Amino acid sequence: MKPSSDQLKNEPATEADTGSLSALEALRNLKLKGLEKVVGVRVNGDILDLSSQVESNSKPEPIYINSEEGLEILRHSTSHVMAMAVKELFPGVRVTIGPAIKDGFYYDFDYKRPFKEEDLPKIEEKMSEIIKADLPFVRKELTSREAIDFFRNEGEDYKVELINDLGAEKVSLYTQGSFTDLCRGPHLPSTGMIKAFHLTKVAGAYWRGDEKRPMLSRIYGVGFADRKALKQHLRKVEEAKKRNHVKLGPQLGLFSTFDEIGAGMIVWHPKGMMLRHILEEFEIREHLKRGYDLVKGPTILKTELWKKSGHFENYRDNMYFTEIDEQSYGIKPMNCLAHMLIYSSTIRSYRDLPKRYFELGTVHRHERSGVLHGLFRVREFTQDDAHIICTPGQLNDEIKGVLDFVRDVMGIFKFDYDLEVSTRPEKSIGSDDDWELATSALLKAMDDNNLPYAINEGDGAFYGPKIDVKLRDALGRTWQCATIQCDFTLPERFDLVYIDTDGKKHRPVMIHRVILGAIERFIGVLIEHYAGAFPTWIAPVQAMILTVTDRNIFYGKKLQKTLVDADIRVKADFRNEKLGLKVREAQLQKVPYMLIVGDKECEKEGITPRQRSGQNLPLMTAEEFIDLISEDCRQRR
């Protein structure tokens, strides 16, 4: 007999066993303070509901609502409340999944029409009613067969599919009021503990990320332990909108995208190309200082080579292919193959190592249209890609050298960052021994340098583990840019060797690494980090000459030539417009300095600089202004 909705709602969560009590009662016995803010417990590493039964002699650890785990419980519970509200407001809607995510939650729904932004206030209002009702979250375990019968009776086919795919003997369901969901939990004791949430947007999402499956409506929300934290978050979101590189980029004349060209392809305008040039020139100088050699490989290589490397088997869904003279070629998604061929073009001695090959290499990757986003996810991009080929004995020092390189460069841009070691993924090549050696080498380099790091299980490259560098920008958001990958496998596949002191051939190790990562992505991060107000040293336009009247143009042109000859990136606005208008436009373009040229400046052959902050500097000579810019650049301001 299949369970009814009433049975699911009203039966107690668990029968108390002899010698056990609820987790909440166990916490009370410990006489802990602040129990009203506890939303779960940790017992032997497992996170459980407060209603769960625990051994009477156990010492459960409390999970407070404002902790990382507590917020996840809060947000997951809020997604269930949202699903309940949607079901009550939109009869016939079918629910799918609703996880907690960073800062919030989402839930995907199948409805006869896509949800719209205008639906959100109504859903929020219904959610507030459910929260006010203070409905308990009740857990129930059923056999998979019973759960399938229940959800099939409810018309929730997506839940039936999920249970079938789980293949478990039993599953857990949670009920609050009239809503029951398939869920592992844990959840809040009741809906009344939800104090601060906001629905933010709607989007489309394919069921299980498969473009061949139904398109669903995804509703996103955020949730926090209190109203103050929610308000702080929403203020940060508003600030992020102002910094959005997708809007700022075109506004500042940096880049555009065009439907006529295709999605994920960036067109660089003069100022954007100047910014790229500055960054690329900076990169070349920094690499040459550290003993790297500049190299360049072709854009297309024979498909047979990609098969040899393992890319064809493990990465071809992200590659483009073409045919020339009945020969198949792959358009490169990475730069490593040409670098290995350069290495193997002659006999190498241990005295030649390490070899550090650096290329600003443009690559192409077949990204799905749904994930493309501004400069952050594109189909053509340039990496500051390098491959270090060294002896096993040099590996630790070379990894340390790259970590030092990352530290130095991120310090210049004033980025803080975190480190993460990503281990072997399911889809990979190479022996267990090689993966163990590579992973150990990365961990040893981190430990030897007393660097804190997290472990990201199963997220390494298909040919080796990696260290990922997560930048934190001015708003505290994280971005993946630099990466360091240790590879014993490709040197084996390409038979890379060196002659050691014993006169015999030995196998080198290869480090794949980027510092800024994709230039496009890094510029997107810079735009948002600086809100488009780049430091003087990388600003594509460092100064704008603004004439007051037409009679000042002659001196303005003379001044412009003087500054250009001194390598100052300067533009001029000689239009017959009011000075206030010119100043406002230059400020909107976030130019570091506006140089006012009126009759006084012409008479004294000087400049009155105005900073983009609005501060006016005293009258100075062109030479003094050149020194000011030079000092800004020297100090990386």
Provide the residue type at 78 as one letter: T
Dig out the tokens for 501 from the structure: 């002191």
- The stretches in the chain having pLDDT less than 50 are 1-18
Active site residue 383: yes
The pLDDT value given to residue 476: 87
Alpha-helical regions (H) of 133-200: 144-154, 157-166
Q: Which residues pair with 485 in a beta bridge?
A: 466, 512
The pLDDT value given to residue 454: 93
Q: What secondary structure letter does DSSP report for 67?
A: S
In angstroms, rounded to a whole number, what is the distance separating the alpha carbons of residues 54 and 166?
26
Active site residue 271: no
Q: Give the CATH number of domain 543-634.
A: 3.40.50.800
Active site residue 336: yes
The pLDDT value given to residue 370: 78
Three-class secondary structure of residue 429 per DSSP: coil
CB 104 within 8 A of CB 219: no
In angstroms, rounded to a whole number, what is the distance separating the alpha carbons of residues 613 and 610?
8
The overall average pLDDT reported for the chain is: 93
Span 5-64 CATH architecture: Roll (3.10)
The pLDDT value given to residue 209: 86
Read off the pTM. Answer: 0.83
Other Cβ atoms within 10 Å of 174 Cβ, number: 23
Q: DSSP of 542-608, one letter per residue?
A: -EEEEESSGGGHHHHHHHHHHHHHTT--EEEE--SS-HHHHHHHHHHTT-SEEEEE-HHHHHHT-BE
The pLDDT value given to residue 7: 42
Active site residue 365: yes
Set 140, 379, 466, 569: catalytic member: 466
Span 282-296+333-530 CATH architecture: 2-Layer Sandwich (3.30)
Q: What secondary structure letter does DSSP report for 103?
A: T
Our CA dihedral for 6, 9, 15, 20, rounded to 10 degrees, sits at -170
Active site residue 134: no
The pLDDT value given to residue 130: 98
In angstroms, rounded to a whole number, what is the distance separating the alpha carbons of residues 13 and 208?
30
CA-wise closest residue to 442 among 414, 413, 458, 419: 419
Active site residue 385: yes
Buried b (16+ CB within 10 A) or exposed e, 394-416: bbbebbbbbbebbeebbeebebe
Set 385, 468, 473, 487: catalytic member: 385
Set 53, 383, 485, 542: catalytic member: 383
Active site residue 311: no
Domains of the chain, residue spans: 5-64, 68-240, 282-296+333-530, 543-634
Q: Can 68-240 and 543-634 be said to share one CATH topology?
A: no
Q: Give the CATH number of domain 68-240.
A: 3.30.980.10
Backbone angles phi, psi at 221, to 5 degrees: -150, 170
Set 159, 287, 387, 610: catalytic member: 387
Other Cβ atoms within 10 Å of 122 Cβ, number: 14
Please, how many CA atoms are within 13 Å of residue 507, restricted to the half-sphere of its CB? 12
Set 76, 218, 336, 339: catalytic member: 336
Backbone angles phi, psi at 542, to 5 degrees: -85, -30
The pLDDT value given to residue 33: 80
Set 75, 243, 365, 521: catalytic member: 365
SS3 track for 355-419: EEEEEEEEEECCCCHHHCECCCECCEEEEEEEEEEECHHHHHHHHHHHHHHHHHHHHHCCCEEEE
Set 512, 529, 582, 612: catalytic member: 512
Environment class of 241 (CB within 10 Å of its CB; exposed 0-12, middle 13-18, buried 19+): exposed
In angstroms, rounded to a whole number, what is the distance separating the alpha carbons of residues 430 and 436?
10
